[in-house]
Structure 1
Amino acid sequence: MERFMIKKLIVISDIEKASREVNFDKGLNIIIGGNKTGKSSLIKSIFYTFGCEVKFESDWKKLISKYIIYFSYGMNEYCITRSTKIFTIFKLSGNSNGIIKVQETDVFHDYSRTFMDILGVSMDCLTTKGKMISATPPLLFRFQYIDQDIGWSKIGESFTNMKYIEQWKSNTNKYVVGFQGEDYYTARQELNIVKDKIENTKVKLNHFNELLKSIDDNSKLPDGLNNEHNYTANNSTRLLFEELNVKEKEKIEREGQIYSLKNLRYEKNLELTSIKSLVKELEDDHTFALEQNDTIKCPFCGYDHENTMIERIEIVKDIQSANQLLKQLRQELKRIEEELDSLHDKKSQEERRYKLIKNEIEKKQDATSIIKTFRDEGKKELLKNGIAEKNKLETKLSQEFGEKALVEDKLKSFDSKKRRTEINKKLKSFFEKILAEVNVPLSTIKFSDFVQTLNKLGSELPRIIYAYHVGLYLYNLDRGRSVFNFLVIDTPNQQGQVLKNLQNIDSVLRHLLLEEGQVILGTERLTGYEEEASTVTQLDYERRCLLAEQYEHHVNVYENLYRESLE
């Protein structure tokens, strides 16, 4: 995974002819605003734009017509717009063609699948109706947000569009800590591919078993057929049997052709995925090169390399070549699909003719006698070829079962007690550190699927939740770059809060200044870290969060994304 960072939020109200822009950077970002200044609504808008359903104040939902969120993932810059249920994803950098519209859709799961592809998330989920889908933004980001309301009484339940997913808590708990992360879901996909291969081989093997049984059964003549006359067939029946023989061979050949094409399609799709990954790496290199001077220090090997216009042009040429190869592969895949469709049509026609011939033979009085003639004239060859092909398929099936066993062993390793213990221990070390700073006893710690159980009530509960989220955030920072390198905290209203809770929230902020990550903090009061924060946004007036000054500019920004983008 790469580093994920939110860059900017823009909300636009066409009703009020007003808008608001909030910029973010790495490290700590603070939004200061009292009650009814729009602080929480702005913070909720971040996740709403990504597709996480949140509980807005009714006025806000009526006012805002367009949302824009800018973010980076790795070396690439992206932007998502949301208007009611329509999501549009734009790629802003990492290509030589300017802005590219990646997708525009009002189908939430189609949008989610594209967004997960951008983030390199392979996690798949099953809905309560039995439909397999990709992970969705609310599932992915459930631990990245403490909202002002439910977020201080429950962990990871701030979004409302998660509960239609089977085992949504358990699966995301394990994913966010890496117990069953990307490697696990990649292995699951490998297992599904192997299972498909096994099923295809079984179907073919069953076909040959049925064919060989049919040949064997048809070779056994009833008693009493010892008169030469009984072995003589009339011409029409003989011709039918000869055609049946041809159709049987065509059937076998067609299955082989279809199987070969399916294998070729699988190989071409692997090539396509590999080249897409290469293009992304080249685009990242090009973006990185553009940001550097004429001499560049490689972030991997540490050596200095020339970074002149010639080297940059060479990267662009490589990108163009790779894109041309992608185009060719897509054309080949299209041709393969067309050939498969044609073969399936031929197979259907041949099967209909095969059944018709069998029915005709069954009507003939001398069908039994002709079997002897048919057997003598070529059935031995068919039997020999059938047995040879059956042996090949049995060997292939055995190899595929071996491959399946290896992948299953790999999957089991992701569920080992030793691994679970190691992750729990490491996560607890970060959690303990923060618990101690917010004055909560360490005996409070009790994990269930890597998430703190909440048995305590009273003033300690918000501190436990806060400590867990911060501990998990620091744990993931320690693991390296990932989509979990950010945390958004909307502190509870001062009214009704124990002063100790509010002071404890501020005391931990020194851990959230790390530039390897990003924290967005919404607060009603000064924290003492404003000078050390990367950005500070001040909201001074009640119900005047939106401003008229930049409305026209922001509308133009929104419209230009659509005007200037390429499909």
Structure 2
Amino acid sequence: MKLLSLKWVARGVNGWESPLLEFGHRTTSLHAPNGSGKTPVVQAIPFCLGFDTKFQNDIVERCQAVVLTIAHGEEVYAICRELGDFHVTVEGDEDRKLEFLSEGDLSKALFEAFGLPMPALVGTNRRMARPYLSTVLPIFYVRQVGGYDDPYRAPGNFIADQFVEMVRLVFGLSPKRSYTAQRDLLTARDELDAMQRKIVFQQKVVADMSASGDDMPLMREQLAQRAATLNARLVAMRESVDVAGAANDALLELLHDEEERIRGLRRERANLQAREHGIDSIRAEIEGEIRTLSLNEESKRAFESFFDVCGRPDCGLFESSAVSYAKNLMYLKDQIKDLEANVERTDMQLSLLDARVIAETTERDILAAKVRQRESQGTTAELVSAVQSLTRELLETEQRRAALEQLDEEKRKYIRLDAERSRIQDRIAMLSNHGRSDLEFNALRRTLQALTVKWMDALNTPNASRIVEIDLEFKFRFGGQLIDVFNGSTRSRLVLAIHAALFEYYLQDASRPFRFLILDTPKQQELASEDLARYLGYLQLVCDKYGGQIVISSTEYRHAIAEPDREWRPTYPGEKRLMYLGRASEMHS
């Protein structure tokens, strides 16, 4: 956006107006005594772009409107804003005319014309808020009142972290706190809570199923071999010539296998009991440590009661001890909870093992009885008995294998849920990210740090460290000190240095729309003329290189102007001095 001209329109025949004030190609300077109306003329530029500006009553009574003409790309726009209620008309090429009755609508149209996004941000009231041109302009407009006290002074702050959000916006970076991202963050956190509940339930399912059987790979292999052996025995019995002998052998083998299984279950039960005793021992040791910690804490409290040990209530002698005590106690109690869960799981496994031992013993007794009775039974009865036993054993084996397969599926489900939880946590981390992993934003901060030092030197800034840091909230620190601790000349120079650094880096991308920097009457009582001249001279070099404009108003310092720059001087008679606004019939040539 290039500034072309500014024109004040009179209210009635006796109203005040201005001549058509054309901006310089690079520099526009207003130089006149105090009271000549420099500030209203400068304020009219952001005023036409939606800035909330309060003019004095005599100006509101005598001036109808202000017209700012700008160029952006191939388009030329005449923006006319009336004084009083918000009413703006924008005329473009080909006699197109648009009317706006609110700052939001005007900003939306100009943002679109300038190719800028209008993101949904988080407001200070936690509701959605959109940026306006008046929230962006303080980066390029240093106003007279308050503008030299802070690097960013907007007419209103209704967006959370407004300065950093506007810097990110004008430099084409994603918002720090997008409203949609905040909404998505809340949704993701709800999803995480629901997923956590699912995972806890799935953990219990897996734990219960694991407690009901051995799911080690060796057991799976043994069950597969057992099923194959039982099938082979059934086939052999069916194909055997000596049916009675095959049936007898099958019953004896089943009886032998049953005895082995019972012995294995009893060994497993003994191991679990030993493990439970070990857990009890560990638990007793941990409880002993907790008691020791408690005694030490009581001793510490007793020591604290003695004035000669800790004479002041805020001495902090035992402060680190208290913190350490709390951490250690929490850790030990967590260990106790884990042990209790292990004991509960072991008790469940013992109960299941006892039930299996009883069932297997009953089955063994049945098989033993069948073996003893085989001499009194016929061949057919013996065969039927053997087949029934083999079939039942095979069915139980297959059921155990099916249970382990179901356990595998439940474990896979747990893994899927855990992976989904990780994805949700990653999304929350991304949505919660406030610039920590924003490489472009970090690069911007580093560049601006170096440029700020350059402009501090240009202004001969005293009493401020050149170790400049910019944090994630876009707060500047000089040797670790915020700008708030500086006063007078140093503070004004720091503000000017920051604006120049932002402006220089911003101009380096020719596609960015705001190509001007407005400085409304720097505090010249705090700024030597030679320092201001050097600063403006460097700014002009930046404008020459990257295509920018500067507007400067001043009372004491008069900037040297040469073509194609412009100097605006007051041309209307006043009671004590020439004025920038006046009646058309009284304008001096």
Q: What is the TM-score with the length of structure 1 in the denominator?
A: 0.52
State how far apart, in whole Å, the 2-side matches of 1:403 and 1:88 are: 47
What residue in structure 1 maps to residue 446 of structure 2?
A: 425
1:7 equivalent in alignment to 2:4: yes
State how far apart, in whole Å, the 1-side matches of 2:181 and 2:170 are: 21
What residue in structure 1 maps to residue 285 of structure 2?
A: none
Match for 1:460 among 490, 501, 522? 490
What code does the residue aligned with 1:174 have?
Answer: R
What residue in structure 2 maps to residue 288 of structure 1?
A: none
What residue in structure 2 maps to residue 92 of structure 1?
A: 92
What residue in structure 2 maps to residue 546 of structure 1?
A: 581
1:504 deviates by 4.9
Structure 1 portions without partners, runs of 5+: 197-401, 553-567
1:147 deviates by 1.4
1:172 equivalent in alignment to 2:172: no
What residue in structure 1 maps to residue 108 of structure 2?
A: 113
What code does the residue aligned with 2:507 have?
Answer: L
SS state of the match for residue 460, structure 2?
Answer: coil
What residue in structure 2 maps to residue 123 of structure 1?
A: 119
Deviations 1:194-241 (A, max 9, x none): 999xxxxxxxxxxxxxxxxxxxxxxxxxxxxxxxxxxxxxxxxxxxxx
Question: Is 2:455–2:535's contact at 8 Å kept on the other side of the alignment?
Answer: no
1:136 equivalent in alignment to 2:136: no
Question: Is 2:32–2:555's contact at 8 Å kept on the other side of the alignment?
Answer: yes
What residue in structure 2 maps to residue 537 of structure 1?
A: 568
What residue in structure 2 maps to residue 446 of structure 1?
A: 469
What code does the residue aligned with 2:454 have?
Answer: K
What residue in structure 2 maps to residue 36 of structure 1?
A: 35
Question: Is 1:19–1:550's contact at 8 Å kept on the other side of the alignment?
Answer: no
SS state of the match for residue 547, structure 2?
Answer: coil
1:60 deviates by 2.8
1:141 deviates by 0.9
Structure 1 residues 208-227: aligned runs within 5 Å: none
SS state of the match for residue 117, structure 2?
Answer: coil
State how far apart, in whole Å, the 2-side matches of 1:136 and 1:551 are: 38
Aligned residues: 338
1:48 equivalent in alignment to 2:47: yes
State how far apart, in whole Å, the 1-side matches of 2:432 and 2:538 are: 38
CA 1:17–1:512: 2 relative to 1, 3 Å: farther
Structure 1 residues 195-210: aligned runs within 5 Å: none
What residue in structure 1 maps to residue 458 of structure 2?
A: 437
1:488 deviates by 0.6
What code does the residue aligned with 1:447 have?
Answer: I
1:42 deviates by 0.3
Question: Is 1:179–1:414's contact at 8 Å kept on the other side of the alignment?
Answer: no
Question: Is 2:151–2:495's contact at 8 Å kept on the other side of the alignment?
Answer: yes
Structure 1 residues 554-565: aligned runs within 5 Å: none
SS state of the match for residue 520, structure 1?
Answer: strand
SS state of the match for residue 511, structure 2?
Answer: coil
CA 1:152–1:178: 2 relative to 1, 3 Å: same
Question: Is 2:34–2:555's contact at 8 Å kept on the other side of the alignment?
Answer: yes
State how far apart, in whole Å, the 1-side matches of 2:74 and 2:427 are: 35
Deviations 1:296-330 (A, max 9, x none): xxxxxxxxxxxxxxxxxxxxxxxxxxxxxxxxxxx
1:22 deviates by 1.5
CA 1:410–1:493: 2 relative to 1, 3 Å: closer
CA 1:18–1:488: 2 relative to 1, 3 Å: same
What residue in structure 2 maps to residue 17 of structure 1?
A: 15
1:478 equivalent in alignment to 2:508: yes
What code does the residue aligned with 1:436 have?
Answer: D
Structure 2 portions without partners, runs of 5+: 188-422, 477-481
Question: Is 2:185–2:431's contact at 8 Å kept on the other side of the alignment?
Answer: no
1:523 equivalent in alignment to 2:554: yes
Deviations 1:152-205 (A, max 9, x none): 112120x42x22333323322332344436xx89x9879999999xxxxxxxxx
What code does the residue aligned with 2:17 have?
Answer: S
Structure 1 residues 280-319: aligned runs within 5 Å: none
SS state of the match for residue 530, structure 1?
Answer: coil
1:145 deviates by 0.7
State how far apart, in whole Å, the 2-side matches of 1:76 and 1:522 are: 28
1:52 deviates by 0.8
SS state of the match for residue 569, structure 2?
Answer: strand
State how far apart, in whole Å, the 1-side matches of 2:494 and 2:96 are: 44
Deviations 1:390-430 (A, max 9, x none): xxxxxxxxxxxx99999996996965154333211212232
State how far apart, in whole Å, the 2-side matches of 1:59 and 1:508 are: 38
State how far apart, in whole Å, the 1-side matches of 2:113 and 2:428 are: 26
SS state of the match for residue 425, structure 1?
Answer: helix
CA 1:67–1:510: 2 relative to 1, 3 Å: closer
State how far apart, in whole Å, the 2-side matches of 1:545 and 1:60 are: 11
Question: Is 2:40–2:55's contact at 8 Å kept on the other side of the alignment?
Answer: yes
State how far apart, in whole Å, the 2-side matches of 1:59 and 1:5 are: 30
What code does the residue aligned with 2:33 have?
Answer: G
Question: Is 2:121–2:128's contact at 8 Å kept on the other side of the alignment?
Answer: yes
CA 1:171–1:413: 2 relative to 1, 3 Å: closer
Q: What is the TM-score with the length of structure 2 in the denominator?
A: 0.50
State how far apart, in whole Å, the 1-side matches of 2:4 and 2:429 are: 41
SS state of the match for residue 522, structure 2?
Answer: coil
State how far apart, in whole Å, the 1-side matches of 2:133 and 2:580 are: 26
State how far apart, in whole Å, the 1-side matches of 2:570 and 2:186 are: 57
CA 1:116–1:31: 2 relative to 1, 3 Å: same
SS state of the match for residue 138, structure 2?
Answer: coil
SS state of the match for residue 531, structure 1?
Answer: coil
What code does the residue aligned with 2:518 have?
Answer: V
State how far apart, in whole Å, the 1-side matches of 2:526 and 2:48 are: 31
What residue in structure 1 maps to residue 78 of structure 2?
A: 79
1:148 equivalent in alignment to 2:144: yes
1:139 deviates by 0.8
What code does the residue aligned with 2:112 have?
Answer: D
Deviates more, 1:45-54 or 1:77-86: 77-86
SS state of the match for residue 26, structure 1?
Answer: coil
Question: Is 1:113–1:134's contact at 8 Å kept on the other side of the alignment?
Answer: no
State how far apart, in whole Å, the 2-side matches of 1:194 and 1:443 are: 39
Question: Is 2:492–2:523's contact at 8 Å kept on the other side of the alignment?
Answer: no
1:466 deviates by 0.9
Question: Is 2:24–2:564's contact at 8 Å kept on the other side of the alignment?
Answer: no
Deviations 1:75-103 (A, max 9, x none): 2111222122333342422xxxx211233
For the aligned residues, what is the CA RMSD? 3.9
State how far apart, in whole Å, the 2-side matches of 1:149 and 1:134 are: 25
